[in-house]
Structure 1
C-alpha cells in the first residue's frame, strides 16, 4: 500500500481552499518545473493536447515529437521529397518530420525508417540540437567539455554533446551525461527554449530567462570548469529582504566557491538553489525518501522543512527529524531574512495555539488549539518548531521540549469516560457546530453519523485495546463531525481506501463496520503492532504523533494531522472535565534500536516483539522492579509485558 491519506472529501475541499488557492487560468502546467519551455512550444503550435486534454509534460518525448517541436519552433518552411517508410502523410507529426529532415536536422535509419514513436535518447537529442545550432548559425566554437561517463557516449556524438553543454542548452547531473537515458516532453521543451533564446527568437525571451531546471534528467549542472558559455547561476546578496547583485557563473560549483558570506545565495533563473539557512517549502504533494527510517514519507503541499544543504540537482532537508533529499523543482528555498511569515506556536490563555502560514498567498491562513501550553511558553511571544516537540523563540534561543499528552499518548490507553458520557459529548459538540450556521453542518444533531457511537467505541476499546476517545477524535477530524459526503453516503468516517491518487468509494453497511475495518485492517496490524504486516512498514509508534513518530509518519501527508487529532481529544476532555488528564498514564520513549519487550522481567523470558528503532512511546504501568518496567504491550496481548528500565526515558507530557 502506498501512502494512505484518509482525508474525507469535505476536509479535502476545505484543505484545498486553505492551502492551495486556485489561481486564475491555472492548468496542469502552472508551476511545472519546465513551464516556460512548455508554454513556448504551445505558442508555436508545436505542443498540443492529447485526447484526454493533457499536454503530458512528464511523458518521455518521442523522436517524431522532438523533430516536430524543432521544425515548428525554428519556423522551417522548405521541404524536399525525402520520405520515411514508417511516416505516412497521415501521421500526426509527418509534416514536422519532413521539414526537419529537409533542413538536415534529422536523418533516418539504414532501412529507410525513422522510428517516429521510439523514445529519443539524450545523445540522439544532442545530435539533432547541434544540427539545429548549425542551421540557425549560432556561434559554437570548439568545446573541450567532457563528462565522467564520456566513454558511454557514442564516439561520433561526443562533440555534439560537448557543444550543447558549452552553450548551456543541455546539461548533465553530478558530472555525468547519461547518454542512453530518455528525456521528458517537459525537459525537451527547455532544451528547445534555450536553443531559440540563443537564436534570438523574441518569443523565447533572453538567454537565462528560462526555467529553474536545467532540462537534464536530474536538473544537473555541467561537468564544471566552463567559463566561456552563458551564465547559468548567479551569486546574490540579501539586502533588506531583497536580492541584489548578479555575479554570473556557468557552473554551480563555481558559484558555490564564490559564496563567502551567510547573506549570499545562489540563484538560477530567479530561483534560489542554495542558501546558508532557512525554510524549504514544498510546492505540491510529494514523497520524501527518509534516510532516517529508510522509507518514503508523504508530504503535503505548503509544508515547512528545515534546510540542511543543496547542490545543483537536489536539496537536503529535515522534516521533523526525517532527513532526505528533494529536487529543486519540487520545493522553494526561503532564507529566514526573506521570509514574510512562518507558522508559529503561542500561548493563548494557557492553551497552545498553532497558527499556520500559507506560502502561496503569503498570509496566515488558519489556526487551531490542541492542548495546554508548556510552562516555558509566555503569552504574547511566538515560538517555532520543526517537529512540534522541540521549540525555540523568535531569536532562535532554545526554550525546551514539550510532548502534548493527547498527541503522544499510546493507543493502548483506556479512557475514563463511559459510553453514555461519550454520547452526551457528541451531541453537545454537534449542537455547537450546527449553531455556526455553516451549511455543511445543517441538522448535524439529527443527521451526523457520530450520533450514538459511544457503545460501539467502548466495545472496540474492550475488544481491541484501542482508546475509544482516540478513535472518536480521528472520526471527528476525518469526517467533519460525521457530516462529510463520504460519511453520509458511504458510512466512511475515516476516508478508508481514499488515496491521494486513486480514491475508492467503498460503501460500508454501517458505521460500526467502518470502525471495525479501521481497527482490524489498518490500526491494529499496521500502525500499532511493531513491525506491521509483511510489506507494510507503517508502525512508527502507537501514537497519533507527528512526522517524527507515530501514525502521522505514514497515515497522512498533512504534517500536523497528529496534533489536529490531539486537539479533538483535548476539546472533548475540556468539555467533560479532564478525567483522563487528571488520571494520566506515565509515558516513556525507548532509547535504543532493536529493543525487546518481554513476557517477564528478565532476559530469560521470551520476547513478545522488538522495537526496530528507538524513540518508540510506551505506557509504563508500574515503577521499576529489578531494573524492569511493566508496560502495556503494543502487540495485542492480555497479560503484562516488560522492558528494561535502562532503555526507556520517562517524558513529562503536557496535559
Structure 2
C-alpha cells in the first residue's frame, strides 16, 4: 500500500485555515453543517474532497454510511492505488467499485465469508475499528495498548474485534460512550453516520501524522559549511519598482523610479508587469481582486472622495472588494454598488493569476441560492442561503456578483438582475404572521438546534432568550411600525437564536454596543424585551429607517449601498443574512409573506419628495429622500413598497407607497422616479 497519509493530513490541517479555490461541489453550505456535532471534521473532509456531495449538492452528515462508501473515503484519504476484483455483488461498472477494490487489494477491508462484499450494507462501529486496525498495522504503528473496559464487551463478534476496538481507542480514533456512572459502553453494532466516518478518517490521519517511529541510527555525515546568502540591502520606501509574476509570486524588477508618474507610465507600457510597488508596498495592479486589509480596528473604510474626507461605508477585514484602479494616493474599489476610494493601509490587492478564491453564488436543485463567501485573510470559505432564486439562474452554475443584485458569469458578462425579496422589503410593512406563529417557529427551531447535541445549543428549548418573545415582537410592529419578522430575524442573527453570551448574560439580543474592535463589550438590559425596544426605538426608528435619520439609506436590510447594512454592520452581507432568516421563517410558516407586496426602487440621484397626495403641489410634502448615489448600474436608490397607483392632478401616474415615517402610513411618488421590481 502506497502511504501518503502524512502529507495529506498536513494539507487537511492547513485546509482548516487555508482553503484553496474549490469546485462548487466541494463546499458545504452553512445551513447543512451548522449545528452538527462533528462539523469541523466533516468540513475538513469535504474541503479535501474525501467526502463528496450527492447530486443535489447535499452532504447529509447524519445519514448512515455504507461499506462501499467508506471504502471510497479510504481510497481518497490514503490515495490507494486502483485495483480490480471479482466480488459477485460489486460490478466493475459500479460507482463504488474503484474504492472497494482499492481498499480490498490493500488489505484494509475484506468481504464476507460467503464471498460478497456488501457494498450497500451499513457499516457499524465494530467494522470501523477493524478497518482502523488494518490501516495502522500496514503502517507498523504498534504500541502497548492501555486497558480500556467497555461494559458491553460481550456484544463484540470476536476477541479480535475487541482488540481492534481497543487499538482504535488507544490512538483516539474511536471512543467509548459514557454511561453516566464513570463507565463506558461501545455500541459495537451501532451504525455510523457520514459525520462519524469523517471523524474516523480525520483522527486516523492525525494519528498517522503524530505517530513517532523508533529512531533509526545513521552514521554521522560530515556536512560542508553552508554559505549564507548576502543580506538584502534595505528597500528605499520612496522608490517605485515594477513587478512581474515569477513562480507564482510577484517579483520586483531591479530598475527603480523616483517619481510615480514615470513609474506608472513604465508599468502601463510593460505587458508583463502585474504590480507596481512603492518601497515594499504594492500600490497598484493591472487586473485582479482587492480585499479589506488586516487593521487594528478590524474594519476598513471606503470613502466617497479620493481625499478621504467623507466615509461612504465600511467593511470587515478580509472581505472581497472589486478592484477598479489605483495610484500612489488611493485605491479605487467597489463594495456592493458603492464605488469609492480607500487608503493603501486599509486595502490589499492580488493580481488575477494569483487569486486563490473568491465569492460566488450557486442555485441548487431546489431553487435555493447559496452565497459562498471567501475570506482573503484566512483563505477560507463560508456560506449562507439567501432564498429562492430566479428562473433565469441556471442550477449548479457559478455566478459572480459584487453587489448581490447584478449576476455575471465567469467571463464577467452580466447574465441577470435579481433583488432578493426580503432584503429589499421595507420594514414599515406588516408580516402576515401572528405572535403565536412567531413563537411556534422559535420553539420548533430551538428544538431542532438542541437536538444537534452542539454545546452552544444545550438546553436551548428552556434557556434561549427568544422563548416567548413572539407577542412582544408583534407588539413592536403595531406600536412602532417595524416589521416583526424583521425584528425576529435580526435577533436570531445577532444572538444566535438567543443563545449567545451577550443574550444569556446581558439580555442583549442585537449585539448593541458590541463593536468589531471589542466583541466582548455590549449593553446590559434587565430583560430581553428591553433590548428589543432599544433596537426598534433607539436604533432603527431613530437613525436608520426614517429619511431624516443620520444613517438612513433606505428602510430595508439592504447591502453596503442601500439600506441599513450601509452603516449598521461591517459584514457586507449582514442585510442578505437577515433576509435569509426571514425567508427561512416564511418557508417554515407557510409562505404567507414572500412577494406579498410590490417592491420598487427610486431611480434618481437627486432629492425626491414623497407627498401626501398624487399632486405636485409644494405644500403637501410628507418628507424628502436626500440625494443619493445610485451605485453600480444605477441599481440602488431608495427601496419602496408600492400598494396602489392613481392618475394625479398633473395627468401622470403616481405610486402610493408605504411611508418611511412612523407618523404617516402612506405617501405618493411620481411614477417616473420609481422602477418596479419584477420577479
When normalised by structure 1's length, the TM-score is 0.62
CA contact 1:262–1:276 (8 Å) conserved in 2: no
Shift of 1:619: 0.7
2:614 pairs, out of 601, 616, 625, with: 601
- In structure 2, relative to structure 1, the CA distance for the partners of 1:467 and 1:204 (3 Å cut) is farther
Equivalence map 1:532-571=2 (5 Å): 532=549, 537-571=550-584
2:536 pairs, out of 519, 526, 541, with: 519
- 2:400 and 2:482 map into 1 onto residues whose CA distance is 32
CA contact 1:279–1:304 (8 Å) conserved in 2: yes
- In structure 2, relative to structure 1, the CA distance for the partners of 1:639 and 1:584 (3 Å cut) is closer
1:642 pairs, out of 644, 650, 668, with: 668
- 1:556 and 1:372 map into 2 onto residues whose CA distance is 24
1:632 and 2:636 equivalent?
A: no
CA contact 1:592–1:647 (8 Å) conserved in 2: no
- Kindly report the root-mean-square deviation, in angstroms, between the aligned alpha carbons of the 2 structures: 2.5
Shift of 1:621: 0.6
- 2:378 and 2:474 map into 1 onto residues whose CA distance is 44
Shift of 1:250: 2.6
Structure 1 unmatched runs, 5+: 1-10, 12-16, 18-201, 215-220, 222-231
Equivalence map 1:115-134=2 (5 Å): none
CA contact 1:529–1:539 (8 Å) conserved in 2: yes
2:276 paired residue number: 266
SS at match of 2:672: helix
Report Cα offsets for 1:120-172 as digits up to 9, x if no partner.
xxxxxxxxxxxxxxxxxxxxxxxxxxxxxxxxxxxxxxxxxxxxxxxxxxxxx
Report Cα offsets for 1:598-626 as digits up to 9, x if no partner.
11110224211100134001111102433
2:241 paired residue number: 234
1:246 pairs, out of 242, 247, 253, with: 253
Shift of 1:208: 4.4
1:290 paired residue number: 304
- 1:425 and 1:552 map into 2 onto residues whose CA distance is 25
SS at match of 2:253: strand
- Identify which range, 238-247 or 389-398, moves more after superposition: 238-247
SS at match of 1:499: coil
- In structure 2, relative to structure 1, the CA distance for the partners of 1:244 and 1:498 (3 Å cut) is closer
SS at match of 1:554: helix
1:622 paired residue number: 644
CA contact 1:314–1:327 (8 Å) conserved in 2: yes
- In structure 2, relative to structure 1, the CA distance for the partners of 1:522 and 1:607 (3 Å cut) is same
Shift of 1:240: 7.6
1:128 paired residue number: none
- 2:560 and 2:614 map into 1 onto residues whose CA distance is 32
CA contact 2:357–2:374 (8 Å) conserved in 1: yes
Shift of 1:304: 1.2
CA contact 1:588–1:620 (8 Å) conserved in 2: no
SS at match of 1:602: coil
Equivalence map 1:61-72=2 (5 Å): none
1:578 and 2:591 equivalent?
A: yes
CA contact 1:600–1:641 (8 Å) conserved in 2: yes
1:343 and 2:332 equivalent?
A: no
- In structure 2, relative to structure 1, the CA distance for the partners of 1:245 and 1:524 (3 Å cut) is closer
Shift of 1:347: 0.9
- 2:428 and 2:662 map into 1 onto residues whose CA distance is 9
1:652 and 2:678 equivalent?
A: yes
Structure 2 unmatched runs, 5+: 1-33, 35-39, 41-227, 629-636
Shift of 1:501: 4.1
- 2:484 and 2:438 map into 1 onto residues whose CA distance is 9
Shift of 1:297: 2.1
- In structure 2, relative to structure 1, the CA distance for the partners of 1:412 and 1:291 (3 Å cut) is farther
- In structure 2, relative to structure 1, the CA distance for the partners of 1:262 and 1:630 (3 Å cut) is farther
Shift of 1:261: 4.8
SS at match of 2:659: coil
SS at match of 1:517: helix
SS at match of 1:571: helix
Report Cα offsets for 1:441-486 as digits up to 9, x if no partner.
1111111011111111111111111110001000000001000111
SS at match of 1:324: strand
- 1:432 and 1:631 map into 2 onto residues whose CA distance is 39
CA contact 1:498–1:504 (8 Å) conserved in 2: yes
- 1:384 and 1:204 map into 2 onto residues whose CA distance is 46
- 1:588 and 1:312 map into 2 onto residues whose CA distance is 37
1:474 paired residue number: 490
Shift of 1:504: 4.6
SS at match of 2:422: coil
- Identify which range, 447-456 or 432-441, moves more after superposition: 432-441
- 2:379 and 2:495 map into 1 onto residues whose CA distance is 29
- 1:275 and 1:505 map into 2 onto residues whose CA distance is 40
- 1:477 and 1:314 map into 2 onto residues whose CA distance is 35
- 2:542 and 2:472 map into 1 onto residues whose CA distance is 20
Shift of 1:646: 1.3
Aligned residues: 430
- 2:379 and 2:272 map into 1 onto residues whose CA distance is 22
- 1:270 and 1:501 map into 2 onto residues whose CA distance is 27
1:361 pairs, out of 355, 371, 378, with: 378
1:257 pairs, out of 261, 265, 271, with: 265
- 1:366 and 1:344 map into 2 onto residues whose CA distance is 11
Larger RCO, structures 1/2 (Cα 8 Å, 6+ apart): 1
1:412 and 2:420 equivalent?
A: no
Equivalence map 1:371-390=2 (5 Å): 371-390=387-406
1:277 and 2:248 equivalent?
A: no
1:508 and 2:529 equivalent?
A: no
- Identify which range, 522-531 or 582-591, moves more after superposition: 582-591
